[in-house]
């Protein structure tokens, strides 16, 4: 469909990271074909009047467990180890595949409603999150969570499932994949090496949790003499494109290892605070050239999948923690949620900014909201004022998946019915 978004303000790449300019946007065959004037021969089949609106690149959630939306507000105010091993994992064991589908669909609704057009997911039931993303029209990067040893059948089965899912969906235009070993404390050395070899063979990035809790770091040091980051490096996991969630408890040598150009760190500020794990040293990482992007983690630990909330938190907590008002800027946060996320997922040529030739993954925000007035610095407003409720219309791959806050691809009431009865 040819779409003309007229009379809008657009968040574009700029010399200082971003610029807001008055631009009409022209979309054809899923891509942005022009900014400003219509390309020759262009005839719009759909015109969106975006007066008093700001168009931003769709946000990119670089780490989540989308099916866990079914666990929202069911495992709160407990220590991390109790949260994971006594609350979440037993619930996961009771899930059937259809539970994961509806939980994932609920999470997708929340993400689209708050302007996220792409998410990087570690999931446990093959085809369910993938099918939910395909049905909803959102862009997704999927990894079947891997745990086990190099010799147990469970670990081998999970690897086979991951490869099966990748093969089945490899031609889908909005779906790509990772190889996703959960963490060194759930995967032994041999199994991590197996996952690495599969990633190399399939030319896919790794997606893993490292250095999330102090307990994890101390346990790894006692067992191996190494931090989780240095342990991963010793196995070659940092020699390939790798997306590392959390990295809360890291030292100077860890940060040096994380500054490799193929490594991306996903900070999840709400989840890390809620589970009592602390604050990742994001200012130090940025100063050392580490690529930092933004994630929510799952709704069992956050309990939100709203990246506007994460942008606000990642700027504010580090200013307060470091007692420096310049510690993490609004521009830093926006880059984490857009272009740096795209780079982490290997999709920077397709998404992450509004530019001619890129995919039309866009969110349109209504600026006539009290929290967005007066419009003095819209770049700052996106981190410090916006809360996601401003998002009116969302496009993915040039298709309108939400218009005036109504979903075009999702039966909202059916989802509420399914998740309510399945959670019970």
Instruction: Walk along the chain (424 residues) and give the pLDDT tens digit of each residue.
Output: 999 999 999 999 999 899 999 999 999 999 999 999 999 999 999 999 999 999 999 999 999 999 999 999 988 898 888 888 888 888 888 899 999 999 999 999 999 999 999 999 999 999 999 999 999 999 999 999 999 999 999 999 999 999 999 999 999 999 999 999 999 999 999 999 999 999 999 999 999 999 999 999 999 999 999 999 999 999 999 999 999 999 999 999 999 999 999 999 999 999 999 999 999 999 999 999 999 999 999 999 999 999 999 999 999 999 999 999 999 999 999 999 999 999 999 999 999 999 999 999 999 999 999 999 999 999 999 999 999 999 999 999 999 999 999 999 999 999 999 999 998 8
Please report whether residue 202 resides in a domain. Answer: yes
Q: With contact defined as beta carbons under 8 Å apart, do 372 and 386 qualify? A: yes
Which H or E run contains 218?
helix 214-224
Please report whether residue 421 resides in a domain. Answer: no
Residues 53 and 69 reside in one and the same domain: no
End-to-end CA distance of the chain: give it in Å, rounded.
42
Residues 102 and 240 reside in one and the same domain: yes
Alpha carbon of 13 to those of 200, 270, 292, 327, 408: distances in Å? 33, 27, 18, 22, 29
Please report whether residue 306 resides in a domain. Answer: yes
The pLDDT value recorded for residue 344 is 98
Residues 326 and 357 reside in one and the same domain: no
Please report whether residue 422 resides in a domain. Answer: no
Residues 105 and 162 reside in one and the same domain: yes
Q: With contact defined as beta carbons under 8 Å apart, do 118 and 137 qualify? A: no
Residues 299 and 357 reside in one and the same domain: no
Residues 129 and 165 reside in one and the same domain: yes
Residues 199 and 248 reside in one and the same domain: yes
Is the pTM higher than 0.85? The answer reads: yes
Please report whether residue 81 resides in a domain. Answer: yes
Please report whether residue 415 resides in a domain. Answer: no
The pLDDT value recorded for residue 327 is 95
CA neighbor of 280 nearest in space, from 217, 238, 339: 217
Q: How many domains does the chain divide into?
A: 2
CA neighbor of 319 nearest in space, from 303, 330, 305, 307: 330
The pLDDT value recorded for residue 87 is 87
Residues 7 and 126 reside in one and the same domain: no
The pLDDT value recorded for residue 40 is 93
Please report whether residue 68 resides in a domain. Answer: yes
Q: Which domain holds residue 183?
A: 59-344
Residues 389 and 272 reside in one and the same domain: no
Residues 269 and 310 reside in one and the same domain: yes
Residues 196 and 329 reside in one and the same domain: yes
The pLDDT value recorded for residue 383 is 96
User: How, if at all, do strands 291-294 and 362-366 pair?
Assistant: unpaired
The domain spanning residue 49 has which CATH number?
A: 2.30.40.10
Alpha carbon of 318 to those of 138, 192, 274, 278, 283: distances in Å? 31, 33, 16, 11, 7
Residues 181 and 288 reside in one and the same domain: yes
Alpha carbon of 108 to those of 115, 155, 263, 409: distances in Å? 10, 28, 26, 11
């Amino acid at each position: 469909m040819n779409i003309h978004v007229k009379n809008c303000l657009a968040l574009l790449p700029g010399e200082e990271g971003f610029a807001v300019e008055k631009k009409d946007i022209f979309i054809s065959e899923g891509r942005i074909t022009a900014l400003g004037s219509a390309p020759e021969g262009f005839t719009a089949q759909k015109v969106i009047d975006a007066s008093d609106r700001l168009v931003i690149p769709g946000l990119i959630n670089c780490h989540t467990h989308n099916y866990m939306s079914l666990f929202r507000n069911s495992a709160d105010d407990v220590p991390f180890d109790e949260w994971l091993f006594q609350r979440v994992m037993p619930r996961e064991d009771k899930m059937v595949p259809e539970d994961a589908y509806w939980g994932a669909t609920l999470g997708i609704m929340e993400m689209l409603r708050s302007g996220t057009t792409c998410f990087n997911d570690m999931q446990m039931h093959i085809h369910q999150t993938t099918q939910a993303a395909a049905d909803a029209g959102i862009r997704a990067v999927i990894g079947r969570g891997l745990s086990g040893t190099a010799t147990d059948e469970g670990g081998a089965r999970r690897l086979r499932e991951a490869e099966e899912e990748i093969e089945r969906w490899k031609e889908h235009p909005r779906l790509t994949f990772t190889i996703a070993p959960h963490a060194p404390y759930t995967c032994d050395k041999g199994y991590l090496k197996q996952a690495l070899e599969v990633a190399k063979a399939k030319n896919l990035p790794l997606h893993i949790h490292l250095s999330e809790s102090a307990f994890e770091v101390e346990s790894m040091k006692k067992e191996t003499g190494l931090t989780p980051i240095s342990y991963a490096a010793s196995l070659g996991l940092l020699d390939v494109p790798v997306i590392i969630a959390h990295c809360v408890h890291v030292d100077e040598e860890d940060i040096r290892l994380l500054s490799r150009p193929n490594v991306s760190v996903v900070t999840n500020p709400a989840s890390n605070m809620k589970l009592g794990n602390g604050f990742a040293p994001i200012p130090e990482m940025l100063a050392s050239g580490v690529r930092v992007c933004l994630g929510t983690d799952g709704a069992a630990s956050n309990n939100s999948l709203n990246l506007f909330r994460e942008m606000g938190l990642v700027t504010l907590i580090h200013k307060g923690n470091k007692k420096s008002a310049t510690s993490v800027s609004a521009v830093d946060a926006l880059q984490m949620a857009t272009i740096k996320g795209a780079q982490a997922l290997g999709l920077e040529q397709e998404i992450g900014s509004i530019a001619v030739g890129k995919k039309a993954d866009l969110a349109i925000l209504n600026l006539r909201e009290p929290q967005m007035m007066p419009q003095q610095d819209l770049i700052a407003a996106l981190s410090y004022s916006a809360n996601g409720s401003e998002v009116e219309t969302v496009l993915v791959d040039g298709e309108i998946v939400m218009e005036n806050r109504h979903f075009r691809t999702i039966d909202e009431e059916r989802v509420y019915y399914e998740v309510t009865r399945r959670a019970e």
